[in-house]
Amino acid sequence: MAEPTSKTKRRRSGLAGLILLALLVIGAAAIALMPAPIRDSYLISAQRHYRVWLASTGQALPGTPDLTRLDQRLAEKGMSLGTPILMRVFKREFELELFMLKDGRYELFATYPICKWSGRLGPKIKTGDHQAPEGFYTVDKNALNPNSRWHRSFNLGFPNAFDRAHGRTGSFLMVHGGCGSVGCYAMTDPVISEIWLIITRALDGGQKRFQAQVYPFRMTDENLAGYQSEHVAPFWRDLKTGYDHFEKDRLPPAVGVCDKRYVFTSGAQTRDITGPVTATCASSNTAATAG
């Protein structure tokens, strides 16, 4: 039998490439047509494996800021260490955002990739469920652990008043270094080092605590529509109220718990723009602390 010519080999290689491309397109289309909960489960699992592999090989995660240029990045945005901060976490997007107070509003300083979080989209319910929490929390100096086995860590403060009202249990739910997680948000050591510097300087600079808003995904109407029939949808719609307050005002909303639901007041109407997570429940005339 005659050996294939170079032209034939190129033709076969090209055909194989087209077949692979077609399979990828078909696979992507199939995933896109899946119900949002199933689709997101597949994509989240793929992201976890990819990010753990990158971290295990010493590679920076996609979207990691240039950690060697912190001073320059601050200067470029007209920001400085020691000013009040706010944090947002988005599970599905694997992103942690840090905002800094500038000219009376909190402006985005940096978006950091999350290496790993455990569980699925949805809140933490009980000890041992491996879920990472969702909701509104506050972090103060007492939550910081400079000697963590995960390099650096800070406690989100789960369970808060909302979680306790629902009988939820668990403890030591952290944001930390490394790329392993059992209910925590792992950022890798280099990334947590920069985050640690920013938050400790803010707390040392006079901020009593900062607000940490933890969401399943970016709280758009489109994203929520994909989960409208899920049992967590009412909880997420309440989270969206707080999300929308911050999107509008760029100030931390005041957060409370009333009738086992989060309640929010615009940050523009509160005296403390560092956003203590407290509010008064109008229906019972009692105050609840959610952080």
Q: Which residues are catalytic?
A: 176, 184
Asked whether the beta carbons of 89 and 108 are under 8 A apart, the reply is no
Is residue 279 one of the residues assigned to a domain? Answer: no
Residue 184 lies in a domain: yes
pLDDT, tens digit (0-9, with 9 covering 90-100), for 68-103: 999 999 999 999 999 999 999 999 999 999 999 999
User: For residue 164, what is the domain's CATH number?
Assistant: 2.40.440.10
129 is a domain residue: yes
Residue 33 lies in a domain: no
> Does some domain include residue 99?
yes
Burial of 216 (0-12, 13-18, 19+ CB in 10 A): buried
Give the ranges where the chain is alpha helix by DSSP (H): 6-33, 36-56, 70-76, 161-165, 189-204, 221-225, 233-249
The tally of domains found in the chain comes to 1
Predicted local distance difference test score (pLDDT) of residue 32: 63
Residue 38 is assigned to a structural domain of this protein: no
User: Which amino acid makes up residue 118?
Assistant: S
pLDDT for residue 35 = 87
115: left (phi over 0), alpha (psi -120 to 50) or beta: alpha
Per the domain annotation, does 143 fall within a domain? yes
pLDDT tens, N- to C-terminus, the chain (291 residues)? 555 555 554 565 556 555 555 444 445 555 666 788 999 999 999 999 999 999 999 999 999 999 999 999 999 999 999 999 999 999 999 999 999 999 999 999 999 999 999 999 999 999 999 999 999 999 999 999 999 999 999 999 999 999 999 999 999 999 999 999 999 999 999 999 999 999 999 999 999 999 999 999 999 999 999 999 899 999 999 999 999 999 999 999 999 899 999 999 898 876 655 545 554 565 433 444 456
The alpha carbon of residue 39 and the mean position of all alpha carbons in its chain are separated, in whole angstroms, by 19
What is the rounded distance in angstroms from the CA atom of residue 258 to the CA atom of residue 256?
Answer: 7
Q: Is residue 277 one of the residues assigned to a domain?
A: no
Residue 230 belongs to domain spanning: 67-249
